[in-house]
Structure 1
Amino acid sequence: MHFEISVDIDATPETVWNILKDVEHWPDMTASITSVEILDKPLALSSRSRVLQPKLRPAIWTVTAFDENRTFTWETRAPGVTTTAAHDIVTKPDGTVSVLLTLDQKGPLAPLVSLFMGNMSRRYVTMEANGLKTKAEAS
């Protein structure tokens, strides 16, 4: 499964980045996240976080790419499926930003996981994008 959503945000890249990298406060901006605990602080390449989401098992996400003020990608593994989530900030000419959130699931069980949980996964990523926009524009 592959899903992506882009959202334009009327805020500075720094504002958006500070909210995006503050994963432990994501539950304040979206109902799709119950809690996040960074296990290896600070959030950086190779750091791990425990993420709890409604209707899902707790997951350990590991940061696999990190470029300060621009992007981070993390992934979690379960038997038969690897889920990767990317968070990319693109600065527009007017100084505002566009954020691209991407979710990919691969592995032998990915088609089955997508069949049963694809709609919920897409809804959760959309909630996160909209929550990020709302929080950043209110800052």
Structure 2
Amino acid sequence: MGYAESTLIDAPVELIWRLTTHIDDWPVFLPTVQRLERLDAGELRVGSAARIKQPGQLSAVWTVTRLDPEREFTWETLRPGLRLTGRHLLEAAGAGTRMTLVLETSGRAAGVISALLGGMMRSSLRQEAAGFARRAATVRQSGAQDARDHP
């Protein structure tokens, strides 16, 4: 099963990519992330991992499986009988960026989990997309040169 949320953000791809890959900052502006602990150091890369606590869920370790600069960041986590794959897809749209967030479920428990939690998954994707858009607007308003320059 898969869920997707696409939104047009009035900010260049370069900025949205920085917001997307500087995952340490997510708890500051994403209501879908309560805590995030990087399990490695440096720039995000294939194999990078983070322990994430999200509302109503147990902590999970997410591991980057694909990173295509300024285009795609994909990672996965495993739970008993379930694989969750999260994709952050970016594409230029005029002077802005179309961000598409995708959450896919697979494994023997995917059907049950999707039936029980599909609404929550859709809502989380909408909240996350809105969080990225708000953060981009705040960074742009502040005139910060880098997303990390903004508190």
Distance 1:122 1:79 in 2: 21
Aligned to 1:110: 110
Separation of aligned partners in 1, 2:85 and 2:49: 13
- Secondary structure of the corresponding residue to residue 3 of structure 2: strand
Q: Which residue of 2 aligns with 1:136?
A: 136
Q: Give CA deviations for 1:16-64 in whole Å, capped at 9, x if unaligned.
A: 1111111111112221110111112232111111010011010000100
* One-letter amino acid of the structure 1 residue matched with residue 88 of structure 2: H
**Cα distance between partner residues in 2 of 1:75 and 1:49:** 10
Runs of 4+ aligned structure 1 residues displaced above 6 Å come to none
Q: What per-residue deviation string (whole Å, max 9, x for no partner) do you get for residues 93-127 of structure 1?
A: x2211001000000110111112222111111110
Q: After superposition, where does 1:1-139 map in structure 2 within 5 Å?
A: 1-42=1-42, 43-92=44-93, 94-139=94-139
User: Within 2, Cα distance between the matches of 1:31 and 1:138?
Assistant: 16
Task: Please list every run of 5 or more consecutive structure 1 residues that lacks an aligned counterpart in the other structure.
Answer: none
Listed as ranges, the gaps of 5+ residues in structure 2 are 140-151
**1:48-103 CA distances to partner (integer Å, 9 max, x unpaired)?**
110100110100001000012221100000110100000011012x2211001000
Amino acid at match of 1:121: M
| Cα distance in 1 between the residues matched to 2:99 and 2:137 | 13
Distance of 1:65 and 1:11 partners within structure 2:
23
Equivalent pairs counted in the alignment come to: 138
1:3-25 deviation line (CA, Å, top 9, x unaligned): 00111010111111111111111
Query: Which residue number in structure 1 is paired with residue 147 of structure 2?
Result: none
Provide the secondary structure at the position in 1 that maps to 2:45.
coil
Q: Percent identity?
A: 33
- Cα RMSD between the aligned structures? 1.0
